[in-house]
Amino acid sequence: MNRFGWKLFSSFFGVGALLASSCGGPEGDGQAAEDPDAAIMAKVDSVLALMTLEEKAGQMLNLGLAALLEGPFYTFRDTLVFDQAKLDSLLGVYGAGSVQNLASFPMTPEQWQATIAYLQQYVRDNTRLGIPLLYGIDAVHGANYTAGAVMTPQQINLAATFNPEMARQAGQITAYELRACRIPWNYSPVLDVARHPLWGRMFESFGEDSYLTARMGVAMIQGMQGDDLAGPTGVLACAKHFIGYGASYNGKDRSPVVMPEHMMRETLLPPFKAAIDAGLLSLMVSSGSMNGVPSHIDKHLLTDLLKGELGFKGVVISDWNDIDNLHKIHRVAADEREAVKLSVLAGLDMCMEPYDASFAEHVVELVNAGELPLARIDDAVRRILYVKFKLGLFEDPMMEGQEYPKFSSDEFDGMALAAAIESMTLLKNKDSILPFSGQETVLLTGVGAHSLNYLNGGWSRTWSGQDTAYNDTDKMTLLEALRAEMGDDKVLYSPGSTYDELLDVEDALRQARQADRVVVCLGERPATEKPSDIDELEFPEAQLRLVRELAKAGKPIVLVLLEARPRIFREVEPLADAVLLAYLPGNEGGRAIAQTLVGKANPSGRLPYTYPRFSGSLWTYDHSLSDERDVNFGLDGFQPQYPFGHGLSYTSFAYEDLRLDSDSIAHGDTLWVSLRVRNAGQRAGKDAVLMFLTDEVASLSPPVKRLRHFEKVELAPGESRDLRWPILPSDLEFINTDNQSVWEPGLFTVSIGDLKASFYLKKNN
């Protein structure tokens, strides 16, 4: 018996029986005992040695669950019935190694368990080696495809908290509730840096900044993966979409990126690099192209950079049907066969081929024809087996006997509520109109006012998030939550508008006249991917007109914004006394907004993107000075509606005593920045302190500033805190046109709030 032995493999899968007799393995090998990865790799190689080419090709296939069910792939279902012939073909004959996604409706944890147990048993009993399946899903804000699971705020809200602990907790809840369903693999987080505000999946990202995305992404992955991927609450994260999905030049879904490599490395790569350094073991390729090369065939990207330079040891999976798309959409391959060849040669390990097994057939044929080296296939399968072992799938794929009592618990709801509250971003508050005293009568109106779907956005029980049939009836819309806070008689309601049509505006205006305050909840119709493409960033005219009509009542107006990306509302902004940006705060969002409006919660969110004023002026905050030139030959051309990092509080924070411990350093020395933050107002509150760095002169036109550190502090009225942060060598570097990270001597400026301090980076002797 080898050291990982019979028990390990025999508990569930057939491969155990074969290995028990055939595996030489590293018996008594001291090295393997010290290095858990070496032990796992020995097991991986043992399994690989038993596999035929067909079985290897099958492992590389990731099927859609619907391909195994009765009826057409795309059809409405409210029950799940497997089709025996499809199972026998796709799992039995082709040996697909992975299945993903939902069957059109959200199942309960028990239904998920039964479904996955059925599939695992099928492969155990009906394939030669019984290699366990790797089930994957998009649980992008909580286990959103499971009935009753906690739907945390979307990623953009987590970013707005500027509190990585919120991202870690969201990852933790998600993993726990996925494991309650026996799902071990999550297509999350999105590490695309959202460089174009038109992008409909902005809400799935951590916003426009690379550093913020990296910090939040790492925290979320750590929360999701925990200390032990094979443990009862560890789930394998899959960062996506490598690379540039959020940076297309036209802002549309899956559109081309045009960007030199050094800029890609500067802006888009750091979150992925940080995630890999933090233990990321699976990654999804972007559906788009960069400089004309679709990412799925970009060997330089997937093999040289990702697996080589960044040392990525995990699985590279394609996005949905994207190998086919190389032929049908990108037109870089004459047919599917060539597309398979190009993508696998480029470094693809697993193909998300939802509909059929043609990918596996092509792999076998290409290897037999000598067009794909077997070594590349072995490398891909080794990576797949590696993560299956890391997840403990061979040993206990169903987490037998494991209980998940915290599923959908008050504790998790409370964590989701806390994150939603901390994301609330108060953009404007003229004459401190907010918070309400509680004595006012309020008219609440607008498309987002009485809808759980508008709070949650896409990926909520269904892909589009639009189906009201699956809404959690125990959760509160904003209307219900505000009435719970203020009393039914204090909150009047009129629907106002749909997404793009005015409703009974006379009714809304009549009630506005009876009220002391008017709250208009503007909203964006839930959507993701292609259906989230829009042609203009402005809110639909009907919603803007509702605000204009209500202004006739002459009552103070508060705008609440529920949106996937910064929708422009410039024309009605002057009519609003206060603006609260809630993004897509999830199922607890109604309560979070209501508690903020009445002052039970103090907003502390900051904008994780630049809020544009005009759709013809779309810049990120880290633009170069030349972008600020204006028509009068001045430097006044950058006039967003609100800048990156903006966010007000019901208290006020004073920044004092910004100091650097030296006015010059050599590269590699540590320079310490210190600052005092004081709560100068009357309420307790949290403040995200952001530190920017400016390289005043560089050989590549430098950004006007770059976020280099942040910390969230909580202070009672009058309380102050001394912060002290190091400036790291990497904070001072940039990527030059040779794609090297370099530093140059010269003047640098640190800015925190309105305070600034400068230092010299000295030449090396």
Among 2, 46, 101, 532, binds ligand BGC (CB under 6 A): 101
Gap between the Cα atoms of 581 and 443, Å rounded: 18
Among 192, 208, 298, 319, binds ligand BGC (CB under 6 A): 319
Instruction: Give me the catalytic one of 298, 319, 356, 577.
Output: 319
CB of 187 to ligand BGC, least distance (A): 4
Nearest to 468 by CA among 451, 485, 443, 447: 451
* Cβ-proximal residues to 233 (8 Å cutoff; 6+ apart), any chain: 172, 175, 176, 179, 226
* Cβ-proximal residues to 85 (8 Å cutoff; 6+ apart), any chain: none
Specify the amino acid at residue 340. Answer: V
Contact status, residue 597 vs residue 436, Cβ threshold 8 Å: yes
Q: Which is nearer to ligand BGC, 64 or 197 (CB)?
A: 64
Contact status, residue 761 vs residue 748, Cβ threshold 8 Å: yes
The yes or no reply on residue 303 touching ligand BGC (CB under 6 A) is no
CA distances from 401 to 30, 394, 613 (A): 33, 16, 55
Phi, psi of 478 (to 5 degrees): -60, -40
CB of 145 to ligand BGC, least distance (A): 10
The yes or no reply on residue 324 touching ligand BGC (CB under 6 A) is no
Q: Which is nearer to ligand BGC, 253 or 413 (CB)?
A: 253
Number of amino acids touching ligand BGC (CB under 6 A)? 8
Gap between the Cα atoms of 545 and 575, Å rounded: 11
Among 82, 320, 355, 499, binds ligand BGC (CB under 6 A): 320
Contact status, residue 379 vs residue 344, Cβ threshold 8 Å: no
Nearest to 475 by CA among 416, 404, 426, 405: 416
Q: Which is nearer to ligand BGC, 140 or 761 (CB)?
A: 140
Q: Which is nearer to ligand BGC, 2 or 532 (CB)?
A: 532
Strand order in the sheet with 653-660: 653-660, 671-679, 720-727
Gap between the Cα atoms of 757 and 673, Å rounded: 9
Helix/strand/coil (H/E/C) assignment for every residue in 213-228: HHHHHHHHHHHHHCCC
* 35 conformational bin, left if phi > 0, alpha if psi -120 to 50, beta if neither: beta
Q: Which is nearer to ligand BGC, 188 or 497 (CB)?
A: 188
Q: Going by DSSP bridges, is the β-strand pair 671-679/720-727 parallel, antiparallel, or unpaired?
A: antiparallel
CB of 286 to ligand BGC, least distance (A): 9
CB of 356 to ligand BGC, least distance (A): 16
181 to 210, contacts with ligand BGC by CB under 6 A? 187
CB of 240 to ligand BGC, least distance (A): 5
The yes or no reply on residue 356 touching ligand BGC (CB under 6 A) is no
Q: Would you tell me how many other CB atoms lie within 10 Å of the CB of residue 712?
A: 17
DSSP string, 117-132: HHHHHHHHHHSSS-PP
Gap between the Cα atoms of 42 and 38, Å rounded: 6
Question: Would you state the structure tokens that stand for residue 167, as one six-digit string?
Answer: 């991202």
**Please, how many CA atoms are within 13 Å of residue 2, restricted to the half-sphere of its CB?**
22
The yes or no reply on residue 240 touching ligand BGC (CB under 6 A) is yes
Nearest to 585 by CA among 211, 219, 146, 150: 150
Per-residue b/e over 640-660, b at no fewer than 16 CB within 10 Å? bbbebbbbbbbbebebeebeb
**DSSP assigned state of 255:** -
The yes or no reply on residue 695 touching ligand BGC (CB under 6 A) is no
Among 138, 356, 622, 695, binds ligand BGC (CB under 6 A): 138
CB of 321 to ligand BGC, least distance (A): 8
Binding map of ligand BGC across residues 271-290, x = CB under 6 A, - = no contact: -------------x------
Contact status, residue 650 vs residue 602, Cβ threshold 8 Å: yes
Q: Which is nearer to ligand BGC, 129 or 306 (CB)?
A: 306
Q: Which is nearer to ligand BGC, 320 or 470 (CB)?
A: 320
The yes or no reply on residue 6 touching ligand BGC (CB under 6 A) is no
Contact status, residue 529 vs residue 201, Cβ threshold 8 Å: yes
Q: Going by DSSP bridges, is the β-strand pair 706-715/685-695 parallel, antiparallel, or unpaired?
A: antiparallel
CB of 367 to ligand BGC, least distance (A): 27
CB of 124 to ligand BGC, least distance (A): 26
Q: Which is nearer to ligand BGC, 189 or 605 (CB)?
A: 189
CB of 480 to ligand BGC, least distance (A): 31
Gap between the Cα atoms of 85 and 249, Å rounded: 45
User: Strands, E, within 417-490: which ranges?
Assistant: 425-429, 442-445
Q: Which is nearer to ligand BGC, 238 or 508 (CB)?
A: 238
The yes or no reply on residue 760 touching ligand BGC (CB under 6 A) is no
Q: Would you tell me how many other CB atoms lie within 10 Å of the CB of residue 489?
A: 8
The yes or no reply on residue 529 touching ligand BGC (CB under 6 A) is yes
535 is catalytic: no
Q: Which is nearer to ligand BGC, 186 or 610 (CB)?
A: 186
Q: Going by DSSP bridges, is the β-strand pair 289-290/293-294 parallel, antiparallel, or unpaired?
A: antiparallel
**DSSP assigned state of 370:** T
Phi, psi of 550 (to 5 degrees): -70, -25
Q: Which is nearer to ligand BGC, 285 or 618 (CB)?
A: 285
Q: Which is nearer to ligand BGC, 73 or 760 (CB)?
A: 73
Return the H-helix or E-strand segment holding 351: strand 351-352
CB of 190 to ligand BGC, least distance (A): 7
Q: How far apart are the first and last CA of the chain?
A: 62
Q: What distance lies between CA 347 and its chain's CA centroid?
A: 24
Catalytic residues: 319
Q: By the criterion CB under 6 A, which residues form the site for ligand BGC?
A: 101, 138, 187, 240, 284, 319-320, 529
